[in-house]
Structure 1
Amino acid sequence: MNSSPSTVTPVVKEQAPFLFLILFFLVQATVLTVFTVPFSLSLVWVAVGSYFLRMFGITAAYHRYFSHASFKTSRVFQFVLAWIGAMAMQKGPLWWAAHHRNHHKYSDTEKDIHSPSRKGFWYSHMFWFLRNDYNDYESKLIPDFYKYPELRILDRYHWIAPLSYAVLLYAIGGWGWLVYGYAVSTFFLGHATWTINSLSHVYGSVRFDSRDTSKNNLWLALLTMGEGWHNNHHYYCSSANQGFYWYEVDISYYILKVLSWFGIVWDLKKPPKKVLEEGLLRDREEKERKRNLEQNKPKVKVKNKVEILST
């Protein structure tokens, strides 16, 4: 697999409104409340559980379901997925999906809303959504889900889900659960999710010619429950699994598969055979290329022991 070089401008080329920046960093700073709570391994597990619960809400719900309709479910569970995604504090499902569909349409062009190669690393990572330009979205971009009034209401009042979640955590475990399960977890959840906009277009390997800078990255896949197989995804974006092969870890897909056994979700889309065969062929070609490079590497002559000792 190829690793194509990327040139990333380490500055923000687009400016976000100053007041929004202040509010954003104040919210981010809530992670510092961790110093008000004595360290406890049990609280760490609360943070980890909260992280992965809401990461699933982003990866499986906001991304694979609402953005790409890669599987089907009932109207009730559709709302459950939307609610879990909204708990991640990344706005509403319709807003998220509409902008993400635009990202795929214009990936790594000037019209891409968060291309690191076009608009700078930090802008693509997190500053883009603070702009006034992206507060709204075009409903025509997401007609398949915009027709549901409950989703429109949740999308408009997207703050209700995370607020309710924070109250629930406090009711169960007090200040410690609120700090670790919400503040700490949300901080790492947000930045992990945003690496797919930034790092997944910078570091990793390229299997498919997706006509953009998307990369496959195992470490980001582990961090984001499977989203790190970004080059796979950009090549065939309607698949419910982004790890195309058994050795590409995709925890979100494993959970969806289990849910399908109980009829909660169904019709999980997968990449066609020709795409899988093309990927395997490209992997073999890349291995062969690396093998040839290794074999043709010029051998360096080393002085014998007598010469080395005499110097």
Structure 2
Amino acid sequence: MAILILVFILWYGGLFFQSFFLHRYAAHQVFTMSKTMERITFILTWIFQGPSYLSAYGYGIMHRMHHAYTDTKDDPHSPAFDPNMFAMMWKTKNIYQDINNNRVEIDSRFTKNVPQWAKFDAFAGSRFSRLLWIVLYLLFFIYFATAWWQWLLLPLTFLMAPIHGVIINWFGHIYGYVNFKMDNTSKNLFPFDFLMMGEGYHNNHHKHASNANFGFRWHEIDITYVIMVCLNFVGVIQLKK
């Protein structure tokens, strides 16, 4: 039971901070928060993403490029130009690393106001940090695993962020339904997005990228947005109108 609880916490905790912080804050800036809260959120993102920690700077820039170049050869991740999801994930990794390590020149429109905490990212994205989390998860499994099949979940804990990314950026451009006909392949994965906390409303998001709420129809409840409304109410963040 402890293993399933851990996987559940890592899945939804990592997913929330990827959606809330990396996507809606770093890339789209649909809300503001204090510098102190921003730093706290950096740390929480590291805690919940663990060995698959993603930099807000690298993610934010790459996601802006995805919107600008959706389904073209310049898209960092697209089923239209990658033969399979593993090839897409590898290409995405390389582009992300090139951005983070300043190995490529980036158009200023993609870098404007993207949050960056370079010293923290250098630690959180280091091999030492990633190996530390892997060892901690491994020790947790050794202590709490009660059946052989639970060990099959261990690789999932190491690769949460890439798995979340491929669900949206691969499957979210192949399967699902559309509310808006567009010149790209974005789809809404689920009528009610219980799995991806609102990120699955990908077609809606591509149509209205600056909207904090990714839901459009009455049944498209964006769980991340609901949490954001609560955080706005108590003053932790300030949603933009």
8 Å CA contact 2:174–2:186 kept in 1: the answer is yes
Q: Compute the displacement of 1:152 (Å).
A: 2.0
2:20 to 60, 77, 80: 60
The aligned length equals: 224
> Superposed, which structure 2 residues align to 1:128-207 within 5 Å?
128-131=91-94, 133-137=95-99, 138=106, 140=108, 141-146=110-115, 151-159=117-125, 175-176=142-143, 183-188=155-160, 190-207=162-179
Provide Cα deviations, 1:41-65, integer angstroms capped at 9, x if missing partner: 1321122012211111111111111
Cα-to-partner distance string for 1:160-214 (whole Å, 9 max, x where unaligned): 665665677689x684469799754344553233211100000111111332110
Rg larger for: 1
Note if 1:85 corresponds to 2:57.
no
Partner of 2:190: 218
TM-score normalised per structure 1: 0.63
Question: Residues 186 and 166 from structure 1, CA distance in 2 versus in 1: closer, same or farther, beyond 3 angstroms?
Answer: closer
Q: 1:75 to 1:124 in 2, by over 3 A?
A: farther
**In 1: Cα distance, 2:192 partner to 2:135 partner:** 30
* Equivalent position to 1:247, from 219, 225, 238: 219
- Post-superposition shift, 1:91? 2.9
Counterpart among 261, 264, 288 of residue 236 in structure 2: 264
Aligned-partner Cα distance in 1 for 2:201–2:234 = 27
- The residue type paired with residue 204 of structure 1 is G
User: C-alpha distance in 2, partners of 1:111/1:139?
Assistant: 13
Gaps of 5+ in 1: 1-40, 270-311
* Contact kept? 1:116, 1:123, Cα under 8 Å: no
Instruction: Structure 2: give runs of 5+ residues left out of the alignment.
Output: 100-105, 146-150
CA distance in 2 between counterparts of 1:243 and 1:128 reads 29
The 1:164/1:264 distance shift into structure 2, 3 A limit, reads farther
Kindly state the Cα deviation for residue 127 of structure 1 after the two structures are TM-superposed: 1.9
TM-score by length of 2: 0.79
Aligned position for 1:95: 58
* CA pair 174-113 structure 1, distance change in 2 beyond 3 A: closer
CA distance in 1, matches of 2:79, 2:7: 29
Amino acid at match of 2:73: E
* Secondary structure at 1:45 match in 2: helix
